[in-house]
Amino acid sequence: MLKRKSTHSLLACVLFGSVLVGCASDKSTSNPSAASDTNGTESLSMPITQKPITIKWYQRNYVETELKSMGEMEVFKELEKRTGIHIEFVHPPNTPDALNVMLASGDYPDVIFWDWSSVPRGLTGLINDGVAIKLNDYMDKYAINYKKALVKHPDVKKFVTLDDGTYPAFFQLDPDPLRTSYNGLITRKDWLDKLGLKPPTTIDEWHTVLKAFKEKDPNGNGKADEIPYSIAKTPSGTALGGIGSGMSEFTAAWGILDGFYKDPASGKLMYGPLQPQYKDYLTTMASWYKEGLIDSEFASTDSKGLTTKLQNELVGTTFGSLGSIIGNTTTLARAKNPSFSLIGVKPPIGPGGKSYNYSSQTIQKVGLSAIITKSSKYPKEIIRLIDYMYSDEGQALLNWGIEGKSYEVKDGKKFFTDDIMKSKDGKSPQQAIYRYATPVFGHTKVMEYEPWSQISLPFPEQQESIKTFASADTSLNTTLSISLTTDESSQLGSLMSDINTYKQETVLRILMGADPISKIDEFQKRLKSMGIDEANKIYQTAFDRFNARK
């Protein structure tokens, strides 16, 4: 059984787990609607089962602002009509331990769809402990469409198997890097235009722009109240952020990241704060902070506080997503200021010599995934149900909804209807689509850029910005899908918990001027004494295993 303990968020998120041993037995009955071909593969006919069955599907309610249950969505009503399988959604409370409490009870639903990187020992732990069944024995016979998707997107396969070749779950597949490039540095374009400036491309140009935002009253209220750069602390409460957020974004200009990253020259993993360039990065950030170019409240500002500052015409640049920062903020701010405009800019070029991407999410090929638990009486039927979601018909249903209601086809291209894009009851497209389909959040399917972008990127600035973000160099980034053995997980948990706490506290004090820059030398020596080299070796070993996957 999985231990009920919290997992410390490492700067490079990883899946915790050990190598597979064994799998659950097959307890399902034969499917009367399936016909076997000569190689043992069963072709899919509808309905999947002649006698209706109900399965319990555990996941967070991503449409809770509109519906009490995802079962109320038209996509799942239609899915039941086609397959004969009713999905009874079980939505846990939004508490950190909800999943662990359920797992510890031993009373499992049929399917659990989750972000397993947040669970101790991850997917391999679930397989080892007998919670999830190994899918390998079912793949060739019942998962035809899923396997076709993996063949169509061959660079995805390493992300969906474990180090020993086990298929532990059905993943949200995200093969298009354009769709995953939604985080980055964002600036007020209308302020740039007013001051006759271009979007900054280098660290020096960033300094020039931030200084102009501070001194030249771009919001035009006659007050020196502009905040050149502000961010929101992460949900975990850390002000510097983790991978792809906060002040850490700027480390990429020095050719490093604020955590474990891949050295482009050697291909090996390195730890950014231990490198000589880190002192130069921190010196620059401390200088910007002293000049008043960085929000003096950045260490305590949450996402709501940042949104308020943006809407009140105070913040000139920030880091965030195209949806929550550019989309939501622009919608609200333009009610008062029609000229309000936010755009994404490429990561700045600095001593590192390239516009390096910071956020590792950009190169990830998968998202959340669904396991089938040992408690299920219907593993074959569930696999066929999920596999249908990866078929052309299933893809259209999950990503677009119901033709004639949520989308229509014009000249061979799909478009969401006015009921979605121009809702009569005043709902945003994202709110309106919640009743029909899942284009904007993950599920067991292939995420598609077109339906996602029609809903998520209504402003031209967003559509242009995502191309800008996607054009950054990703050679520093590493996968989030590294699997750790039980011993590795235990060692890293012990090492990185203390290291991360010490790092956050020390770097924050240096950046805000409480400690001198010279403190960085002592800081780096302390990291070594705390075992950062040992942690690096563990990650490298796991990274090598990932690269060896076939």
What digits encode the pLDDT tens for the residues 254-266?
A: 999 999 999 999 9
Over the stretch 148-186, which tens digit does the pLDDT of each residue have?
999 999 989 999 999 999 999 999 999 999 999 999 999
314 DSSP β-pair partners: none
Widest pairwise Cα distance in the chain: 79
* HSE-up (13 A, CA, CB side) for residue 222: 0
For residue 395, pLDDT over 70 is answered with yes
For residue 7, pLDDT over 60 is answered with no
* pTM reported for the whole predicted model: 0.84
Q: CA 297 to CA 424: how far, in whole Å?
A: 41
Asked if the domains 42-178+364-456 and 184-363+486-550 are classified in one and the same CATH topology, the answer is yes
Selection from 26-35, 44-53, 515-524 with the highest mean pLDDT = 515-524
Q: CA 327 to CA 506: how far, in whole Å?
A: 35
pLDDT of residue 246: 57
Share of the chain above pLDDT 70, in %: 90
Q: Which of 539, 484, 545 has the alpha carbon at shortest distance from 259?
A: 539
Between helix 276-290 and helix 203-215 the angle, nearest 10°, is 10
Q: CA 359 to CA 243: how far, in whole Å?
A: 6
Over the stretch 48-57, which tens digit does the pLDDT of each residue have?
999 999 999 9
Architecture of domain 42-178+364-456: 3-Layer(aba) Sandwich (3.40)
Q: Which residues contact 324 (CB under 8 A, 6 or more apart)?
A: 303, 307
pLDDT of residue 39: 53
pLDDT of residue 301: 86
Domain ranges in the chain are 42-178+364-456, 184-363+486-550
The CATH homologous superfamily to which domain 184-363+486-550 belongs is Periplasmic binding protein-like II (3.40.190.10)
- Asked whether the beta carbons of 406 and 417 are under 8 A apart, the reply is yes
Q: CA 188 to CA 359: how far, in whole Å?
A: 21
